[in-house]
Amino acid sequence: MEYRTLGTSGAVVSTYALGTMTFGNETDEAGAHAQLDRYVEAGGNFVDTADVYNAGVSEEIIGRWLAKKSGDVMLATKGRFPTGEGPNDVGTSRRHLRQALEASLRRLGVDHVDLYQLHAWDPITPLDETLSFLEDAVRAGKISYGGLSNFTGWQLQKACDLIAHRGWSRLVTLQPQYNLLVREIEWEIVPAAQENGLGLLPWSPLGGGWLTGKYSFDEEPAGATRLGENPDRGVESWYRRSRNQRVRDVVDAVREIAGKRGISMAQVALAWLVDRPAVTSVILGARTLDQLDDNLAAADLHLTAEESATLDEASDPGAADYPYGGPGVAQRDRPISGGRA
């Protein structure tokens, strides 16, 4: 396993984190603890969860595992989404986040977490109120660092500017969806993260299973898979993606590289992502121990420049026009030497 700093902080995390959204639902407690054991044995030290993962059960399962283990594991959790039926049981208000953080600490059985992330933007709560809560939590020793998840570029920049203006502790990470099928964050969000020193923690690195090759483009999925249980599931929808030529091109390219190397398609997709600019740690999410073992086999894998270029071309989301491509790029570029730019 390789390691990187958590954004611009001095904390060090493994380049692959263990995501725990399946714990307590798709993965029972025994299976979850087996995944945690295997992950740590492989050199992983970064576990990511959230208070809404199976209504807090994920955090409880991790807490019981922590109670019988020792060692240096970095913990990350999140708050923002509904944790009850009341009007104040949701959002990023000081009131809700205080209750959410305290509940997460109780479930995890710890007195602090290393990274506390705002799970999404809240259009109702003043940003000053939200970010001042993170600052107070840092000063109180409840969290070591603050981070964001699912923020757009302008939202991220607004948060970082306000923090700089107030002189508060800098945010260190952004957790977005990012994979070979979802690269649009490279247009605005990734540059904003790089500008502000935020490390990326990509979730859904395998595109909901599409990049593993387990779904056919010609036959509706069935059985014990996420799309088998719900073929029209969100952005991973079989009906939408099976008719998308770019998705076919990406899957074909991943399959070809995997075949030549004699490795799984999942390992190829993970290796491409872990070496993208600004990426700190890729979040693995597995239902089974076998799936996790296959993912962890990518821990020390890096693609060649030629392989990466092949995947870049196949997965290009097509920003060919203004402002992200073509004349837009020309207007943003400026050589140091003389010229017309």
Q: So which residues are the catalytic ones?
A: 53
Each residue of 90-103: b (16+ CB within 10 Å) or e? bbbbeebbebbbeb
- Amino acid found at 8: T
Residue in this structure with the two tokens 């993962």, named with its chain if needed: 53
d(CA 35, CA 33): 5
